[in-house]
Amino acid sequence: MDISVVVPLFNEAESLPELAQWIERVMDENSFSYEVLFINDGSTDDSWQVIKGLHERNPRLKGVSFRRNYGKSPALNTGFDRAQGNVIITMDADLQDSPDEIPELYRMITQDGYDLVSGWKKKRYDPLSKTLPTKLFNATARHVSGIRNLHDFNCGLKAYRREVVKHIEVYGDMHRYVPYLAKIAGFTQIGEKPVKHQARKYGTTKFGLDRFVNGYLDLLTLWFQAKFGVKPMHFFGLLGSLMFLLGFIAVVVVGALKLYNMYSGNSYRLVTDSPYFYLALTSMLLGTQLFLTGFLGELIIRHSNDRNHYEIGEEIIDDPKS
């Protein structure tokens, strides 16, 4: 199969028929073999009924429905897990991403040798209150991730080589940083394509300004994982050892000063009367705790199970084993 299109959605019943027809037209015009995976993220409207109707009309239009709303990242991860195409295309269901971009995205993956191609909505139909924070967010993401050629990390329109989506795990709100996840996994051929951004036709946006705050926290998490995720002892163990050593040296100095003053006939205070003694003990305790945190982190990594488990209510999918 040439292409799997993964479409995460939440309350997009109005736009789904038009999006499905648009994708079908593009696929037929280019003679692609394809499937479309609509991942219904616990919609409260008629989205799932619409997906069922689309599947009855065209079996290549498939769907998965969560029992409740989990978020875009779990929806993408579920779609990636079930995708069977050689190239996986992701797009939003609100018609702001154009399926007409699919052939060129496919060509860039199959002919230009990219592992991942991210769309860049160079001209956006969004208010200034959204575009300015987005520019700052993307600038920070470029600096932290080291992927300097991407201007729009959060664009929903992306193309992936099959191997990429099978080797990354999109969880929490990490859908904003799939290129960074791919880079961490060793897929470094990451490209960008300017794409057309269309004004929303139906409904309202499902994302608020809190996504920018959460986005920075997630970026910090990914940076830490990239640096120390495999070896947490390298961070916590080193920091803990340094704090313990400094505290131990401070205790020795406090004790040595008291002994010196005692044998020199100078006035002296009890060690427990010195605030430096308690600061030193605190440093030693914190150092020990940090060291143990690194040790426990190593154990967790070696015995961790799959963190993603989502309760699926219904599913329209082909069994690849059948």
Question: Which alpha helices (H) appear in the chain, and where do they start and end?
Answer: 16-29, 47-57, 72-82, 102-110, 128-145, 162-165, 178-184, 210-228, 238-264, 275-303
User: Is the pLDDT assigned to residue 27 strictly greater than 80?
Assistant: yes
Close Cβ partners of 204 (under 8 Å, ≥ 6 residues apart): none
Percent of the chain with pLDDT over 70: 87
Close Cβ partners of 31 (under 8 Å, ≥ 6 residues apart): none
Give the pairing of strands 87-90 and 61-66. unpaired
- Residue 108 — very low, low, confident or very high, per pLDDT cuts 50/70/90? very high
**In degrees rounded to 5, what are phi and psi of residue 96?**
-80, -20
pLDDT of residue 263: 84
What are 232-238's contacts with CB under 8 Å, separation 24+? 232/293, 232/294, 232/297, 232/298, 232/301, 233/294, 233/295, 233/297, 233/298, 234/294, 235/294, 236/290, 236/291, 236/293, 236/294, 236/297, 237/290, 237/291, 237/294, 237/295
User: Is the pLDDT assigned to residue 85 strictly greater than 80?
Assistant: yes
Q: What is the pTM of this model?
A: 0.73
User: Is the pLDDT assigned to residue 264 strictly greater than 60?
Assistant: yes
User: Is the pLDDT assigned to residue 207 strictly greater than 70?
Assistant: no
Cα-atom radius of gyration of the chain, to the nearest Å? 26
Task: Give CA torsion, residues 160, 164, 169, 172, to 10 deg.
Answer: -30
User: Is the pLDDT assigned to residue 322 strictly greater than 50?
Assistant: no
Q: Which residue has the higher pLDDT, 47 or 309?
A: 47
Give me 211's structure tokens.
Answer: 């996504």
How far apart are the C-alpha atoms of 60 and 200, rounded to whole Å? Answer: 26
Give the pairing of strands 3-9 and 61-66. unpaired
User: Is the pLDDT assigned to residue 7 strictly greater than 50?
Assistant: yes
| Residue that has been written with the tokens 């967790």 in this structure | 300
57 C-beta neighbours (distance < 10 Å), count: 12
User: Is the pLDDT assigned to residue 321 strictly greater than 60?
Assistant: no
User: Is the pLDDT assigned to residue 75 strictly greater than 90?
Assistant: yes
Contact (Cβ atoms closer than 8 angstroms) between residue 222 and residue 184:
yes
Mean pLDDT of 194-218: 69
Give me 180's structure tokens.
Answer: 């960074």
